[in-house]
Amino acid sequence: MKLKVYPDKNEVAKAFSEYLKELLATTNNKPIHVALSGGSTPKAIFDYMAENYKESIDWSKLHLYWGDERCVPPTDSESNYKMTVDHLLSKINFPEENIHRVLGENDPAQEAVRYGKLIEQQVPVDEDGPLFDLVILGMGDDGHTASIFPHNIELWESEQICEVATHPESGQKRVTFTGNTINNAKEVAFLVTGASKKEKVKTIINEEDGFEKFPAALVAPYSDKLTWFLDEAAANSLEL
């Protein structure tokens, strides 16, 4: 595990953009399959990328997926796909055919199956499952990641590529990657910023009492290539 701590969100955005650019540069002309996180953290990072890496990243090599999506239409303000379009895809020249969104407007259970099959068709697989080149994750204040929340942490162990999860407060249905889909990726990167995350970051990274009940603590790629991109506010409780 690598911890990369930066003064603020803008510096996280800059560092992560360089990390993604380097990942793309190391792969000749093979397509790169990347699963995005949702929520609010990526907004500033995507804005930065669109502003500063519009020309310097070869976007045509990327195939985009979502590690979780709210079961809402793609025009809904809750949609992670819409957030990505608003903050990144609408600002760069990105091949439409390389965008593989979760159809949030569909029946959740049917969509979890469809999306899993799409991933099996699009993404290289090994005996353990799909081999995403990179899975990007956020972490909720409650220690959830993707859309696996502490109250339904059993979804992490599912043998399915995707499952249907339920938000603990709103009851909103979501399609989410499962633990194996995340951990079978070649690389995993957490993007976690803000003081509200600092207690969980400390508990999880220091493996303090009860850490394993938080889904974010179960992220342990088989490749061992896990990088936490943190701002100082989120890393504030770590003794570094």
Residue with Cβ nearer ligand 6PG (108 or 140): 140
Q: Which residues contact 184 (CB under 8 A, 6 or more apart)?
A: 126, 128, 129, 130, 131, 132, 221, 222
- In the complex, the smallest distance separating the C-beta of residue 72 from ligand 6PG, rounded to whole angstroms, is 11
* Coil, strand or helix at 25: helix
Residue with Cβ nearer ligand 6PG (39 or 168): 39
Residue with Cβ nearer ligand 6PG (42 or 61): 42
Residue with Cβ nearer ligand 6PG (147 or 152): 147
Residue with Cβ nearer ligand 6PG (32 or 135): 135
Task: Tally Cβ neighbours within 10 Å of residue 47.
Answer: 16
Residue with Cβ nearer ligand 6PG (61 or 87): 87
The backbone region for 231, taken as left when phi is positive above 0, alpha when psi lies in -120 to 50, beta otherwise, is beta
* Rounded Cα gap, residues 87 and 82, in angstroms: 9
Q: Report residue 24 CA to chain centroid gap.
A: 17
Tokens of 1: 């595990």
- In the complex, the smallest distance separating the C-beta of residue 194 from ligand 6PG, rounded to whole angstroms, is 7
Tokens 């990641």 identify what position?
145
* Rounded Cα gap, residues 121 and 184, in angstroms: 16
| Segment near ligand 6PG (CB under 6 A); pick from 35-43, 91-99, 110-118, 155-163 | 35-43
Check residue 168 for interaction with ligand 6PG (CB under 6 A).
no
Q: Rounded to whole angstroms, what are the CA distances from 77 to 16, 86, 188?
A: 25, 10, 26
Q: Pattern 122-151, binding to ligand 6PG, x per CB under 6 A?
A: ----------------xxx---xxxx----
- In the complex, the smallest distance separating the C-beta of residue 15 from ligand 6PG, rounded to whole angstroms, is 17
Interface residue with ligand 6PG among 37, 180, 203, 227 (CB under 6 A) is 37
Q: Which residues bind ligand 6PG (CB under 6 A)?
A: 37-41, 68, 80, 138-140, 144-147
